[in-house]
Amino acid sequence: MNYNSHSRTKQFRKIGGVILSTILLCFCCTIEADEKDKYYNLTEALQHPTDVQYLYLGSPEGGNKLTTLPKEIGNLQNLQDLNLNSNQFTTLPKEIWNLQKLQKLSLGRNQLTTLPEEIWNLQNLQTLDLEGNQLATLPEEIGNLQNLQTLDLEGNQLTTLRKEIGKLQNLKSYICIIIDSRLFQKKSRTCKI
C-alpha cells in the first residue's frame, strides 16, 4: 500500500475543516442561546421587553455617560440584573422601583445624592451596589429589603448607617467607608454579619 501523504493531508484538512466548522457553529449557537436574555444595548432591550433578564449599561471605563433612562425601562418586567455602573445619573426614573423581579441593582460610580423611599418596592433585591456615589444618607425604607444579601456603600458621604440596616436578616456582608476628615484618615472596612 502506498499512501500519498499529501493527498491524505488534503483529505484530513477537508474533513477536519468541516468538523471544525461544525464545532465552531455549535459553539456559537450555544453562546447565542446563553446570551438570549442578556442585553448590552438599551434600544435592543426595549424592543424585546419580556426577554430581557440582564441589562448591562455600565462601563468600567465610564464610557457611556448616561444621565437619564426612558420611562419604558419599566416595561422590562422580567429584568433580574440591571447594571448602570459608571454613568452620570443624579436620579433614576421611578419606573425602576417597580421592577418586581430585580435581584441585582448596580448603581456604582454615578452621582446619586439620594435614594427614593420607593426602593422598598424591590422585594426580590439581593445585591445593591451604591459604591462611589454622593449619598449622605439612606432612606429608612432600606430596612424593608428583606432579601438583601450584599450592600456596597463604599465611597459615599455617609458618616453613619441607619439603624434600619439591622432589620436586614439576610444581609451577609456590607462594604462601607467612613470618612470624617476631622477624626479619621480614609478608613475602609468590609463588615461580615
- Across the range 67-89, mean pLDDT stands at 96
Q: Give the pLDDT of residue 32.
A: 40
Say yes or no: 47 and 126 in one domain: yes
The DSSP bridge pattern shows strands 127-129 and 187-192 to be: unpaired
Q: Give the pLDDT of residue 176.
A: 64
Q: Give the pLDDT of residue 59.
A: 78
Say yes or no: 159 and 132 in one domain: yes
Say yes or no: 27 and 45 in one domain: no
Say yes or no: 30 and 45 in one domain: no
Contact between 144 and 166 under an 8 Å Cβ cutoff? The reply is: no
Helix (H, G, I), strand (E, B) or coil at 129: strand
Q: Give the pLDDT of residue 148.
A: 95
Q: What tens digit of pLDDT does each residue of 6-49 get? A: 444 444 444 444 443 433 333 333 334 356 789 999 999 999 99
pLDDT at 178 over 70: no
DSSP helix, strand, coil percent of the chain (3-state; round to 5) = 30, 15, 55
The DSSP bridge pattern shows strands 127-129 and 104-106 to be: parallel
User: What is the residue-averaged pLDDT of the chain?
Assistant: 79
Q: What is the pTM of this model?
A: 0.74
Say yes or no: 150 and 162 in one domain: yes
Say yes or no: 113 and 148 in one domain: yes
Say yes or no: 85 and 113 in one domain: yes
Say yes or no: 24 and 58 in one domain: no
Say yes or no: 24 and 44 in one domain: no
Q: Amino acid identity of 20?
A: L
- The residue segments making up the domain with residue 14 are 1-34
Per the structure, the count of domains in the chain is 2
**Computed from CA positions of residues 64, 68, 71, 74, in that sequence, does the dihedral angle turn out positive or negative?**
positive
Q: Which of 19-28, 30-39, 58-67, 105-114 has the highest mean pLDDT?
A: 105-114
